[in-house]
Chains A and B, each alone.
Chain A
Amino acid sequence: MTRTVVRPQWVGELGRSFVTFSAALVIGALVMVATGRDAWGAYRTLFAVAFLGAQNLADTLLAATPLIFTGLATAVAFRAGVFNIGVEGALYLGAFAAAWIGFTLTGLPAGLLIPLAFLAAGLAGALFMLIPGALRAYLRVDEIVTTIMLNYVAISFTSYLVNYPYAVPGLANAMSPKIALAAQLPRLLPPSQLNLALIVVLLLVPLVHWLLSRTTLGYELRALGSNPIFARWSGVPVPAVILQVMLLSGFIGGLAGAGQVLGVNYRFVDNFSPGYGFDGITIALLGRNTALGSLIAAVLLGALRSGGATLELFVDIPKDLILILEATIIFFVTAEFVLTFPRRRHAGVH
């Protein structure tokens, strides 16, 4: 009699992501060897500067913090088969909302100011998603197109805000006034800038996991994501679920912006994001649209980002290595995405 080991499905899923990540490392190594560099040495150093020592680890987690947020924001939407590309826009609006609370309600104590800033950021992100969410839910307007386009609207709007009504005179670059000291998130491992935002997002991970696996909405959105026709016929209120998913995704995206403003920059800086919202897509796909998977994927990407910046200081490895690794990961995850998701998407959403 053969014994079969029963494993949850996500173990196999994450296993595939592990293969993807390893493949990226192999390709990166090949490129380095081909250009006459010491691949093994580069990876050892990368590992050391990303994980060894409290400060290095703190910097990796600091780089990972916004990515965990945007990964979660994207994962909840993708899990429902809703392709929200607008997390970047939600992040910008959330960042500005948090900054506004931070530099306006300066008299409040930290215990009130910080939760309020996060809440405002989440609401700003959710409100932003109301537009493409409702269009998708009730009028079946393709959310990929609307969210991509609305990103520009959101980013330009925040740019307008810090260039005109909230411009700080005397500074060459556009940025908002500085937030109150009470709004600045405490650091966890000084001198690293790693801050309370990590704790916030680490609390969010089990919350999202619980929501996806243990709630009615979670069941409905998973049903919608895996088989829209079945979901519809089994009584899932499809438009309501889509709208809720978009709002939730926007809310988490907004929190990501708040984390950067309250924890790192202490201001809203025009065009501050290097694409955290878009990175969320890579992370969600690499993390198989699960909360835990997104956490792991974000930390790996954060290690590349943080380690990559330090790597240049120690060895003659250009930051292009990091780009090669990231590009390879993106290539593999999108290849798989392209091969599987459109099939589900066109399996009769309507």
Chain B
Amino acid sequence: MTVTAVVLAVALLGLSPTAAGPNIKKVALIIAQGGLGDRSYNDSGYAGLTKAAQDFGVQIKAIESRDPVGQGEQLLRQAAKAGFDLVITLEFTHFEPLARVAPDFPNTKFSILNIAVEKPNVVSVIFKEHEGSFLAGALAAMVTKDTKIPGINPRKIIGVIGGTKSVGIDKFIVGYEEGAKFIDKETKVLVSYSNSFGDPAKGKELTLAQFQQGADIVYQVAGGTGEGVIAAAKETGRYAIGVDSDQDYIAPGHVLTSMLKRVDLAVYDLVKRLVQGSLKGGAVITLGLKEGGVGLSEMKFTRHIIPKAYVDRVEQLRKDIIAGKFKVTDITQK
């Protein structure tokens, strides 16, 4: 009844909810806290959506709210009511609202990233961050032994800064450690937690402490805190490893590589499946090295200082993991 009221109200006002032909699919993307313009997670997801719109001719809408956490159910429900075929949310806290809303709209497909919501019309996307981190660890373990590279000491020590001590973050760290030990069992990996994703000063302080303990490469898995990790590397002439998006440009030559998490690809892939009719509700899509959902950056600014043999070795490891020759531990699957 209330649905009718809304439609009626809108119709009376001479407006129609995003008119489209019967065959044109409509996709809504709910933007997470932080909003568009974050040069990171949200922007990446939106880039994937706009690319999908160009490639598949779907109608798209980005939904921004000042309070995506508090308005979770409302946003999901209204997007479904407005007649979108697929509603993707980038907001992590929507996992509970989504589980409540999805059953009311069996003909709408929903999607959420980084967490599995088990409902027949929800498609969850999980990234295999451990696989990408494995490659980062392997590269770091090779570079940390090579004193011919500027800023590298002879000690086999590398570091990592996590945003919080949580399974979600340790997934990266364990993969990184495994990659490092795979190259050289004696590699020591220093681990610190910043207890914040938005504290560059803390990130810098922790990184400098790790450098003092002999590390020369520090992987940041701490969001905005990572800016401090990169700043510390730049100041001391050592190296950081970026995360999520390609952060190599932030301090050219001092970000060894970045472990990319392709949110854009995830969104693009969802729309592609929708258009092709292969989007299966109730499924969990995992995006790893094989799917190109995670991986290392192209190392635009460091490629000339890293010996080609190391890059080739990393590439070989990537192929081996894809071929299933060995598996990287996923601590969330325990």
Identify the A interface with B (CB < 8 A). 41, 44-45, 48-49, 52-56, 59, 62-63, 66, 159-160, 163-164, 167, 169-175, 178, 191-193, 260, 264-267, 269, 271-272, 274, 305-306, 308-310, 312-315, 319, 322
Contact = CB atoms under 8 A, between A and B. Distances in A.
7 contacts: A41-B13, A48-B13, A53-B2, A59-B74, A63-B67, A265-B70, A305-B66
Given A174-B164, A266-B96, A309-B71, A53 B5 contact: yes
Given A53-B2, A306-B71, A172 B93 contact: no
A53 B71 contact: no
Given A48-B9, A55-B6, A171-B166, A313 B79 contact: yes
Nearest to A322: B66
A41 B14 CA distance: 9
Contacts of B74: 59, 62, 192-193, 306, 309-310
B69 A313 contact: no
B245 interface: no
B98 to A, nearest CB: 13
Contacts, number: 132
A159 B196 contact: yes
B61 A312 contact: yes
Contact of B168 (A172, A192, A305): A172
- Most chain B CB within a 10 A radius of its CB, from A48, A49, A172, A178: A172
Given A45-B15, A322-B66, 5 more contacts: A55-B5, A171-B167, A265-B93, A310-B78, A313-B79
Contacts of A266: 96
A319 B14 CA distance: 20
B92 A265 contact: no
Q: Identify whether the interface residues of B are mostly helix, strand, loop, or mixed.
A: mixed
B114 A56 contact: no
B195 A172 contact: no
A214 B176 CA distance: 66
Contacts of A171: 115, 166-168
Given A53-B2, A55-B2, A274-B67, A313 B17 contact: yes
Contacts of A49: 6, 9-10
Contacts of B15: 41, 45, 314-315
B330 interface: no
Contact of B69 (A44, A62, A272, A310): A272
Contact of B77 (A191, A264, A271, A312): A191
B195 A164 contact: yes
- Most chain B CB within a 10 A radius of its CB, from A52, A62, A175, A266: A52
Q: Identify whether the interface residues of A are mostly helix, strand, loop, or mixed.
A: helix
Contacts of B79: 313
Given A53-B5, A313-B18, A313-B78, A193 B73 contact: yes
Interface in B152-180: 164-169
A109 to B, nearest CB: 23
B312 interface: no
Nearest to A260: B70
Contacts of B165: 163-164, 167
B302 interface: no
Contact of B64 (A55, A164, A315, A319): A319
A142 B68 CA distance: 34
A306 B61 CA distance: 17
Contacts of A306: 71, 74
A169 B166 contact: yes
Contacts of B196: 159, 163
Contacts of B276: none
Nearest to A326: B66
Interface string B64-88: 1111011111110111001000000
B63 interface: yes
Contacts of B28: 313
Nearest to A272: B69
B18 A172 contact: no
A319 B82 CA distance: 17
Given A309-B78, A313-B61, A63 B71 contact: yes
A138 to B, nearest CB: 34
Given A172-B115, A174-B166, A44 B17 contact: no
Contact of B10 (A48, A169, A271): A48
Nearest to A316: B18
A82 B164 CA distance: 38
Nearest to A309: B65
Nearest to B71: A309
B70 A175 contact: no
Given A167-B166, A319-B64, A191 B104 contact: yes
A162 to B, nearest CB: 9
Given A160-B195, A274-B66, A314 B115 contact: no
A309 B78 CA distance: 9
Nearest to B82: A313
A52 B5 CA distance: 8
A314 B195 contact: no
Nearest to B114: A172
Contacts of A48: 9-10, 13
- Most chain B CB within a 10 A radius of its CB, from A159, A175, A314: A314
B177 to A, nearest CB: 19
Nearest to A315: B15
Contacts of A175: 93
A305 B165 CA distance: 35
- Most chain A CB within a 10 A radius of its CB, from B9, B14, B195: B9
B126 to A, nearest CB: 10
Contacts of B71: 63, 305-306, 309
Nearest to B2: A55
A172 B65 contact: no
Given A48-B13, A170-B332, A313 B63 contact: yes
B93 A56 contact: no
Contacts of B167: 169-171
A123 to B, nearest CB: 23
A314 B64 CA distance: 13
A175 B61 CA distance: 29
